[in-house]
Structure 1
């Protein structure tokens, strides 16, 4: 889609250039035809226009290459080269067509004189090329500003949606915590398993609502893993401990910080779409922390559910990709591999 759009844009640009040159040449020929002694020579016309086109586009390339990057010494050197090479091109074109023209029509070119004679022509088409370059730069800058404004508007819309979602989620969290604590206290004499489940749910809700530790955008990795273990625990209670889950942790997780609710999103995705009742194909989660290079590796590998699938809009994965990109830039990698029966998600983060 993007490639097709670029091709159409390039095609339109070529058409515009051909049209502009056609108008320019037509005006130039019209002035010459008004002279009674002018005789049109196609071969002479074509070969004398080639150096002009070379000067125009050559100068545009030089400006694009060196002026936009503020390499002024290279710009001057390139302009000097362009001037002498244009003179050489004029001399070569004249030499090539002279044998095919009537004697005396095209006088022999003397290169030293040609260099001086070319200066005015060179300056004229340099001026045209300068104008075209700055016009294109202005259009490009306008497009970039428009794209930035659209991106800013999209970010603002996303922010407002997030704020609205946050407000909806903040239906008196203290009331919910107090109510769960009440249920926990009431359930203690009734069922230890029930009270433990309520306490675990309370911890899950507390972490989800207060993940910004002291207004910081990151949490200790150990807190995030504790949250993951609570989610596993509550799901085991839901399914009478029938879920087959293997969670292997290696490395020190107590000193490293990470943006919250990223790892848990991958875990919840595996719980939602994975077949976790088969002891031959358990959900396997691995967390490896390397203190030497400050990298975190986390992966989930699960058997895919058979039968009806739960609907998924992919918002969770898109969200964590945006958050990872905003925080870690090029220092992360999130890949997913989907096979006929299995699904794997792998996350690499360099935090130092």
Structure 2
């Protein structure tokens, strides 16, 4: 074997333990120093040190056969440990600095992400406050204006005045449940709201809409979170084909007095032709509200077929 080949082997076998010390120490620091597991940190450092000493011994044993006879002094264990300790201290120091440098970079990234998230939350808060302000101004103004129109329309058209009055009732209910911190409302009020929405839509389309609303059970002592059932109804009005008397919009509300369960469903023929754009926010919103209020005591399922759409809601309120 040539001298150059031996020098190359000597370099490789000498540097491999150095690489092991550097990255082994870095791994131990990341694993245990960041989590403040100091006993495991000390044990890990000792393991890296003694395993590095073993590597030096093993690699030195592999190189010895290639050296000229009589040129290699015998191994002295204490000297091997001292040499390993010296290399360990040097490259352990480098590894220590590398660890804290990487941690500093990671902390800076985390702080930047937190600042961006804080700025986003603040922007969302400002948007919400602005939207809330608009909601406070516009509905009140519109509601008062509708009252004025209702008063002036009584002598002009009974149908017109009835429509304006119904729209006022719809707005009054929506504003009352939106402005106040209302957790639940009587189920009868929610159903009255649904009936007003049906009524106003019938007026819009000259009473041509085919709608069946079947109600059964005692609602007198039942309360429900507001504007959930109406969302399902509005979804059916928006996407349903309601002019076909063979396929009417069928809505059912049943209240079970035995177990306090409310069942509500809508079934409609899907509208033909171009579809209205929908982002699904309404359905996602009521799912979140139902989750927050009723936990495992509710079920909301939808069946989306080629021609028909069905939504079914069960809520156990007692």
Question: Which category of TM-score, normalised to the shorter sequence, fits these structures?
Answer: 0.5 to 0.7
Between 1 and 2, higher relative CO (CA 8 Å, sep ≥ 6) is seen in: 2
Q: 2:115 aligns with which of 139, 146, 149?
A: 149
Q: How does 1:222-241 map to 2 (within 5 A)?
A: 222=186, 225-226=190-191, 230-239=196-205, 240=207
Is 1:316 the equivalent of 2:281? yes
Which segment drifts farther, 67-76 or 182-191? Answer: 182-191
What is the distance in 1 between the residues matched to 2:61 and 2:313? 66
Change beyond 3 A, Cα 1:139–1:310: same
1:47-86 alpha-carbon deviations (Å, 9 max, x no partner): 2222222222222222222222222332222222222222
1:244-295 alpha-carbon deviations (Å, 9 max, x no partner): 5779999x995665xx767755654454344455665857799999xx9xxx
TM-score with structure 1 setting the length: 0.61
What is the distance in 2 between the residues matched to 1:316 and 1:148? 27
Q: 2:175 aligns with which of 181, 206, 209?
A: 209
Change beyond 3 A, Cα 1:344–1:280: closer
Structure 1 segments unaligned to the other structure (5+ residues): 1-37
Is this contact kept in 1: 2:28–2:45, CA < 8 A?
Answer: yes
Is this contact kept in 2: 1:197–1:237, CA < 8 A?
Answer: yes
* CA apart distance, 1:142: 1.5
Is 1:165 the equivalent of 2:102? no
Is this contact kept in 2: 1:212–1:219, CA < 8 A?
Answer: no
The residue that corresponds to 2:7 in the other structure is 41
Is this contact kept in 1: 2:251–2:264, CA < 8 A?
Answer: no
* CA apart distance, 1:160: 2.9
The residue that corresponds to 1:219 in the other structure is 183
The residue that corresponds to 1:60 in the other structure is 26
Is this contact kept in 2: 1:51–1:90, CA < 8 A?
Answer: yes
Is 1:125 the equivalent of 2:91? yes
The residue that corresponds to 2:273 in the other structure is 307
TM-score with structure 2 setting the length: 0.66
Aligned length: 302
What is the distance in 1 between the residues matched to 2:123 and 2:88? 52
The residue that corresponds to 1:93 in the other structure is 59
* CA apart distance, 1:212: 4.9
What is the distance in 2 between the residues matched to 1:102 and 1:343? 89
* CA apart distance, 1:311: 3.5
Is this contact kept in 2: 1:282–1:303, CA < 8 A?
Answer: yes
Q: How does 1:239-318 map to 2 (within 5 A)?
A: 239=205, 240=207, 242-243=209-210, 254=222, 268-276=234-242, 282=249, 304-312=270-278, 314=279, 316=281
Is this contact kept in 2: 1:276–1:283, CA < 8 A?
Answer: no
Change beyond 3 A, Cα 1:105–1:172: same
What is the distance in 1 between the residues matched to 2:24 and 2:74? 26
Change beyond 3 A, Cα 1:42–1:348: farther
Structure with larger Rg: 2
1:12-38 alpha-carbon deviations (Å, 9 max, x no partner): xxxxxxxxxxxxxxxxxxxxxxxxxx9
Kindly report the root-mean-square deviation, in angstroms, between the aligned alpha carbons of the 2 structures.
5.1
Structure 2 segments unaligned to the other structure (5+ residues): none
What is the distance in 1 between the residues matched to 2:73 and 2:251? 85
